Amino acid sequence: GAVVSQHPSRVICKSGTSVKIECRSLDFQATTMFWYRQFPKKSLMLMATSNEGSKATYEQGVEKDKFLINHASLTLSTLTVTSAHPEDSSFYICSASPQTGAIQYFGAGTRLSVL
Amino acid sequence: GDSVTQMEGPVTLSEEAFLTINCTYTATGYPSLFWYVQYPGEGLQLLLKATKADDKGSNKGFEATYRKETTSFHLEKGSVQVSDSAVYFCALTPNSGNTPLVFGKGTRLSVIA
Which residue did the predictor score with more confidence, A2 or B74? B74
A47 touches chain B (CB under 8 A): no
In a mutational test of the A interface, the residue from B98, B102, B103, B108 whose CB has the highest number of chain A CBs within 10 Å is: B98
Interface A:B, Cβ pairs < 8 A: 53
**Is the CB of residue B39 less than 8 Å from the CB of residue B86?**
yes
Alpha carbon of B18: minimum distance to chain A alpha carbons (Å): 24
Across chain B, what does the average pLDDT equal?
92
pLDDT at site A101: 58
pLDDT at site A42: 73
Across chain A, what does the average pLDDT equal?
90
- A103 with B46: Cβ contact below 8 A: yes
A93 touches chain B (CB under 8 A): yes
Segment A55-102, tens digit of pLDDT: 899 999 999 999 999 988 999 999 999 999 999 999 999 999 876 656
Backbone torsion region of residue B60, taken as left when φ is above 0, otherwise alpha when ψ lies between -120 and 50, otherwise beta: left
Segment A14-58, tens digit of pLDDT: 999 999 999 999 988 888 899 999 887 778 899 999 988 888 999
pLDDT at B16 over 70: yes
Burial bucket for residue B54 (CB in 10 Å: 0-12, 13-18, 19+): exposed
